[in-house]
């Protein structure tokens, strides 16, 4: 009888390999910071999902500011999960002050867009992506969609699990000018940030099987997922695990049936009273808000992740175990 995990992989599309012409061209702009000694695991899990999704061809990966070791860890993940592919990694802006400046990442993203339409996943501050749109507005039609891990429904507070910490809208707030440029560019934009992930937790019981895997990459994942969960528990005061925010951004764009998405809603960038003082120390800060009065730009907004997507993520994460002796 076929093992149930193999059956699930086939049902979820992991068992079929389309030709490159059939694959979805994707660019990943990331602030991956996993490991060394502890960092968030969102981008790493999102990249793992993309690398294990045979319907996707990653044209390139660009690194955006705010993290250290991103290129080294990204290269490690590519060696582990896609050794046969030659996926380039490009250095982008080192700070948000480089918005509008040409970088290796900007030039590479422009070349990829000149080759044909593609989807862009903005999993960190939007500096690199906004620079491309600013320097080459003629390429807006080539961006089929930009998925940005940021933004919120009006008055949404980022307080996971009633924990003691209220999160900021990190990617947006670390370059709100770039996010505003994304809105103004007219590019089809899907905002899939905190709102869609609120309540979407991963916890150790779900990924513990990695600990005993014969694959070094699985054990690395287990160690770093555990450390990140420890931070959520002991620093953020959250008991239910951690939220892998970037994964929902990837999923909402590639598998929208597994999410709740409001289409074509008004969005705006405004300043207001700071609602995350444990993270940001100013009295006021910027907000990227959907559904508020005064919004003039149109976006799609993801606000819920269905349980089937958790199965998709876990199947990608635990896939090696099905081939363990």
Tell me which residues touch Ca ion (CB under 5 A). Answer: 31, 43, 123-124, 246
Of residues 123 and 254, the one with the C-beta less far from Ca ion:
123
In the complex, least distance from residue 285 CB atom to Ca ion, rounded to whole angstroms: 19
Of residues 123 and 288, the one with the C-beta less far from Ca ion:
123
What is the rounded CA–CA span in Å between residue 179 and residue 262? Answer: 19
Of residues 8 and 51, the one with the C-beta less far from Ca ion:
51
Let me know: does 184 contact 135? Beta carbons within 8 Å: no
- Spatial neighbors of 256 by CB under 8 A, at least 6 apart, are none
In the complex, least distance from residue 170 CB atom to Ca ion, rounded to whole angstroms: 8
Of residues 120 and 139, the one with the C-beta less far from Ca ion:
120
In the complex, least distance from residue 41 CB atom to Ca ion, rounded to whole angstroms: 10
In the complex, least distance from residue 276 CB atom to Ca ion, rounded to whole angstroms: 17
In the complex, least distance from residue 110 CB atom to Ca ion, rounded to whole angstroms: 22
Of residues 8 and 189, the one with the C-beta less far from Ca ion:
189
In the complex, least distance from residue 149 CB atom to Ca ion, rounded to whole angstroms: 6
Let me know: does 18 contact 321? Beta carbons within 8 Å: no
Of residues 66 and 295, the one with the C-beta less far from Ca ion:
66
What is the rounded CA–CA span in Å between residue 34 and residue 24? Answer: 26
What is the rounded CA–CA span in Å between residue 275 and residue 45? Answer: 28
Of residues 31 and 300, the one with the C-beta less far from Ca ion:
31
Cα first-last separation, the chain = 17
In the complex, least distance from residue 30 CB atom to Ca ion, rounded to whole angstroms: 6
DSSP symbols for 184-226: HHT--EEE-SHHHHTT--B-HHHHGGGGG-SSHHHHHHHHHHH
264: left (phi over 0), alpha (psi -120 to 50) or beta: left
**Alpha carbon separation from 289 to 26, 42, 147, 294, 295 (Å, rounded):** 26, 22, 15, 10, 8
């Amino acid at each position: 009888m076929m093992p149930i995990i193999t059956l699930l992989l086939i049902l979820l599309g992991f068992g079929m390999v389309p030709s490159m012409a059939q694959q979805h061209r994707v660019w990943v702009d990331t602030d991956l910071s996993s490991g060394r000694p502890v960092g968030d695991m969102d981008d790493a899990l999102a990249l793992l999902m993309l690398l294990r999704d045979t319907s996707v061809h990653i044209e390139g990966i660009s690194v955006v500011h705010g993290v250290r070791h991103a290129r080294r860890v990204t290269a490690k993940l590519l060696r582990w999960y896609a050794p046969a592919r030659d996926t380039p990694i490009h250095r982008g802006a080192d700070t948000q002050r480089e918005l509008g400046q040409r970088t290796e990442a900007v030039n590479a993203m422009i070349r990829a867009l000149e080759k044909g339409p593609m989807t862009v996943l903005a999993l960190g501050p939007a500096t690199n992506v906004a620079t491309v749109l600013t320097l080459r507005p003629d390429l807006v039609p080539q961006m089929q969609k930009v998925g940005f891990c940021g933004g919120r429904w009006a008055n949404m507070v980022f307080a996971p699990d009633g924990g003691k910490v209220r999160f900021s809208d990190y990617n947006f707030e670390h370059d709100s000018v770039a996010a505003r440029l994304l809105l103004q560019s007219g590019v089809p934009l899907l905002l899939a940030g905190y709102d869609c992930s609120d309540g979407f937790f991963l916890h150790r019981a779900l990924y513990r099987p990695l600990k005993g895997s014969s694959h070094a990459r699985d054990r690395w994942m287990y160690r770093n997922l555990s450390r990140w969960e420890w931070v959520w528990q002991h620093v953020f005061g959250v008991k239910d695990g951690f939220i892998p925010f970037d994964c929902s951004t990837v999923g909402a764009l590639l598998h929208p049936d597994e999410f709740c998405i409001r289409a074509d809603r008004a969005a705006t960038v405004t300043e207001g009273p700071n609602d995350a003082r444990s993270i940001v120390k100013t009295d006021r800060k910027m907000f990227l808000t959907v559904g508020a009065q005064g919004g003039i730009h149109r976006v799609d907004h993801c606000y819920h992740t269905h349980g089937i997507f958790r199965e998709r993520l876990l199947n990608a994460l635990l896939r090696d175990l099905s081939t363990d002796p």
